[in-house]
Structure 1
Amino acid sequence: MSGAVDLTALKERADAQRQQAQRPAQATRTAPPADGAAPPSGDGGAVIDVTEATFETEVLARSQQQLVLVDLWAEWCEPCKQLSPVLERLAGQAQGSWVLAKIDVDANPRIAQAFRAQSIPMVVAIAQGQPVAAFNGVRSEAEISQWVGEILSQLGDVLPGAEPADAEPEQDDPRMVAAEDKLNGGDFEGALADYRAIAEAEPNNVEAASAARNLEFVLRAQAHDPAIVDTAAPADVDAQLAAADVLLLSQQPEAAFDRIIGVVKVTAGDDRTRARTRLLELFELFDPAEPFVVAARRKLATALY
């Protein structure tokens, strides 16, 4: 995962928030000392609750000296409730070789966005300020121990006191330039094909994947008859999803999301899965911290569970 996730925005947001309020007492207690040495991670410091405001210090800065496992979870997530106790127990037994940073994705949506979290629980290993490995879903204690052991073995002596290497200046990807030229020239289908090809060849290319998602939505929504908003039958899943596209294209995200959540409530099996998947795809078109996205995610969780 190294280089696939840009955590700069989280660092900048944390800087701004710290200028408005002092750090909580617990965050101050668990922060790395000024000399850069990692604090002891015994029973008191092996597990840390992290927010957007403390992410830079508790995760990015700490990861320069100590492996940090980020646990992305939520109160409504049942698999999270199975995985978190296992992670916490292993962290307590790690004797300072790594620390567990727990992050509630509902309270800290920008962090989930930065990690491109499609589902939770998600665990991301951070070293020297960058993600180095990750997994989704529930794993056994033995599997997690082996996974962490392999990461620590690969890192070797890199972490203690190491300085990150100077990054080479990024060069414009000629494939992305060509796709953008097509987009600016009005060849939307050609641009979409190019972005898709790049994203398929490089699953971690966030820019190409995002551009493809946005173009896919716009082209799909423009193909619908706007009248579908009024004519869609309640039991017609395809028509309701089309109506949601039209509503979203006309800048009515709350109404669009509510349409699909209504489908989720009254369907089951493949139809319900299809509606849920479409709604999650539409969420990705927005900043996850948008109030209407946060509200829709909670409505979806209620409808599902």
Structure 2
Amino acid sequence: MEIQPQPQIFDVDEQNFEELVLQGSQERVIVVDFWAPWCGPCKTLGPILEDVVAALGPGVALAKVNVDENQRLAMAFRVQGIPAVKIVKNGQLAQEFTGALPKEQIEAILRPLVSDAPIPEEAQVIDQADDLAATGDLDEAARQYENVLEENPTDGPALLGLAKIHLQQGRFETVQELVNLVETDTPEYPQAQSLLTQIEFAHQCQQAGGRAACAQRVLGQPDDHEARYLLACCAASEGDYETALQEWLHVVGKRSNGDQAAKDAMVAVFHLLGRDNPLVADYQRKLYQALY
């Protein structure tokens, strides 16, 4: 006997909710959409949920609950307003939100919960561009980021990656323009804002005469903490973050007049690099030890 595949989008009611949602969530993530025929935002959200669920593959399903016909279910899930979305995994409420959120935001909520979700082509292109940028092939990396942005002008990872390239090339106005396009509710926004600080590092370095001049000042006067701070700014503006963090940490440890600026600069670089970068964990620990 041939086993029929489970539907990915289906209606549920009080009679089959336990079987299809609670038990079904042991096998795959179940997105429960509480809606009503008279609800305008529900009509907007429904197709978006269907698109996201379809894109994430068989590891997730969409269960639709008409609250007019299933008021006890709505009460059990404490639905205060609709559309309301409850995401169930392994029989437990894993996430929830209310209102017609944008498609990108819904996917960002769901994707981490779906372990076998396929990687979208756009994300693959960005990963390739990130690798190219890391190996120094900035022109090809920029071209790939730009290809993504042609299809999606507000793609956060592509905007951020391209802005970093322009920063390395000294195109500060372009960096500012790209950063301003990063939406505030995206994971890339804090890093994008940190790029503005990096632009300031570059300006300070230029005003001080450049990295070589700052290094010469430090070599001649090792206790010149202003020169050491500026040398760190130069290093950071060139992407030499380890040297920058070392020099700023030195300033913080000496409790000089510039130690607050050095601390702020280190925190900005932490945001810029992201929590997964091993330098961040290392220098967060060292900064804490220097302060306390």
Q: Name the TM tier (shorter chain).
A: 0.3 to 0.5
Normalising to structure 2: TM-score of the pair?
0.39
Normalising to structure 1: TM-score of the pair?
0.38
Asked which structure has the greater RCO (Cα within 8 Å, sep 6+), the reply is 1
Q: Which has more radius of gyration?
A: 2
More helix by share: 2
